[in-house]
């Protein structure tokens, strides 16, 4: 009996010891799992922090909210290409809508410093000029006549117009919160001069884009060049200037513009020009090997000049962006300023080449 009792006691001790060992093993395993989870969590947090810091650095360098800018740019590309695929008419209507939006932005921006331009008259005359340029049998004559009539009517209405709409006042009050410029003395002369400048800046240059498309068998390709070469130029200049820019191009007008950015503008525009010419014009590459290079270089130079002109205008008004409709880009004018300047130059190259 004593031997059996001793055996039972020893067996119990053995079981207790084994249970203790098992508990330690389980505890150790649980501790290791918790440690592994903590390490994974820390790794994930570090990865998220690194991604956030990278995005913050990109936004700081470019001066934009890049996720918003990329999303807006993608949407614009889809809309533009969809209009071109649907019909030329849809693309012309899109140009007219963008032009009216740009006119509204300048109307509000000028009003913040006391200049009044007849927005309604400007919009009607500009749209009529665009449509007449495209649909008339004599495209150039229709364009010249429309711009001339627009100048005359705008001068007349700018001379006698002394009121400002409630919607404009509301937009002006919102804009004044971001403006650093004081109001200038408004007069008939300054209002008329500002109105004439707007006619020559937006409807005239936009009509040149329409003129290059009207009646051309390469209308789709022309539109791709006129819209996307300046856009590619802006993109190349933005990123090249943000990461490589060391030599200021025009520090007084635009401190962020650099020589390296200009080179990046031309380089990306040249690449885009080669792709568009080879893809859409049906030309043999070796026959016109120099044409895309010229178009890209011209787009880079003229597009940068267009940006500088817009920057100078915004600096005089005392604002950072012309508007806020296009998230990540600013306003419509902030997006089309280089396109407007590049349009007539690229059109001249196309006409000279007979395409």
**Residue 342 domain-assigned (yes or no):** yes
Q: Of the candidates 310, 312, 309, 270, which has an alpha carbon nearest to the alpha carbon of residue 291?
A: 270
**Residue 304 domain-assigned (yes or no):** yes
Q: How far apart are the first and last CA of the chain?
A: 116
pLDDT digits (tens, 9 = 90+) for 185-234: 567 788 888 899 999 999 999 999 999 888 788 888 889 999 999 999 98
pLDDT of 285: 59
**Residue 239 domain-assigned (yes or no):** yes
Asked if residue 156 has pLDDT above 50, the reply is yes
pLDDT of 13: 44
Coil vs helix vs strand at 256: strand
How far, in Å, CA of 123 to CA of 292, rounded?
35
Domain that holds residue 118: 65-353
Rounded to the nearest integer, the mean pLDDT of the chain is: 78
**Residue 330 domain-assigned (yes or no):** yes
pLDDT of 240: 86
pLDDT average, residue stretch 278-292: 76
**Residue 318 domain-assigned (yes or no):** yes
At a CB cut-off of 8 Å and minimum separation 6, what does 196 contact?
A: 151, 154, 155
Contact predicate 69/329, CB 8 Å: yes
**Residue 348 domain-assigned (yes or no):** yes
Asked if residue 7 has pLDDT above 50, the reply is no
Please provide residue 59's backbone torsions phi and psi, each rounded to the nearest 5 degrees.
-60, -40
pLDDT of 265: 92
Q: What share of the chain is helix, strand, coil (3-state, %, to 5)?
A: 80, 5, 20
**Residue 8 domain-assigned (yes or no):** no
Q: How many domains does the chain have?
A: 1
How far, in Å, CA of 338 to CA of 170, rounded?
29
pTM score above 0.85:
no
**Residue 271 domain-assigned (yes or no):** yes
**What does the DSSP 8-state code read for residue 182?**
P
Length of the chain: 355
């Amino acid at each position: 009996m004593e031997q059996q009792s001793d055996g039972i006691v020893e067996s119990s001790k053995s079981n207790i010891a084994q249970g203790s060992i098992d508990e330690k093993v389980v505890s150790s395993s649980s501790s290791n799992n918790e440690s592994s989870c903590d390490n994974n969590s820390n790794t994930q947090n570090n990865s998220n922090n690194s991604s956030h810091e990278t995005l913050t650095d990109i936004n700081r360098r470019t001066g934009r909210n890049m996720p918003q800018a990329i999303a807006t740019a993608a949407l614009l590309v889809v809309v533009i290409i969809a209009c071109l695929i649907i019909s030329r008419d849809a693309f012309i209507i899109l140009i007219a809508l963008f032009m009216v939006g740009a006119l509204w932005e300048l109307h509000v921006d000028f009003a913040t410093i006391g200049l009044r331009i007849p927005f309604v008259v400007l919009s009607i005359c500009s749209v009529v000029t665009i449509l007449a340029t495209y649909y008339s049998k004599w495209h150039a004559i229709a364009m010249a006549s429309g711009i001339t009539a627009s100048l005359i009517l705008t001068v007349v209405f700018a001379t006698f117009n002394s009121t400002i709409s409630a919607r404009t006042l509301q937009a002006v009050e919102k804009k004044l919160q971001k403006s650093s410029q004081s109001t200038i003395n408004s007069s008939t002369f300054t209002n008329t001069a500002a109105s004439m400048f707007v006619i020559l800046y937006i409807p005239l240059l936009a009509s040149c884009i329409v003129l290059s498309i009207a009646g051309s068998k390469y209308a789709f390709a022309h539109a791709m060049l006129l819209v996307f070469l300046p856009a590619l130029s802006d993109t190349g200049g933005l990123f090249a200037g943000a990461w490589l820019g060391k030599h200021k191009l025009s520090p007084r007008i635009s401190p962020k513009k650099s020589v390296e950015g200009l080179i990046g503008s031309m380089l990306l525009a040249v690449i885009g020009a080669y792709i568009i010419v080879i893809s859409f014009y049906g030309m043999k590459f070796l026959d016109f090997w120099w044409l895309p290079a010229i178009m890209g270089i011209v787009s880079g130079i003229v597009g940068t000049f267009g940006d500088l002109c817009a920057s100078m205008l915004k600096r005089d008004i005392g604002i950072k962006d012309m508007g806020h409709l296009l998230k990540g880009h600013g306003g419509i004018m902030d997006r089309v300023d280089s396109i407007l300047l590049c349009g007539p130059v690229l059109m001249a190259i196309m006409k000279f080449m007979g395409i």
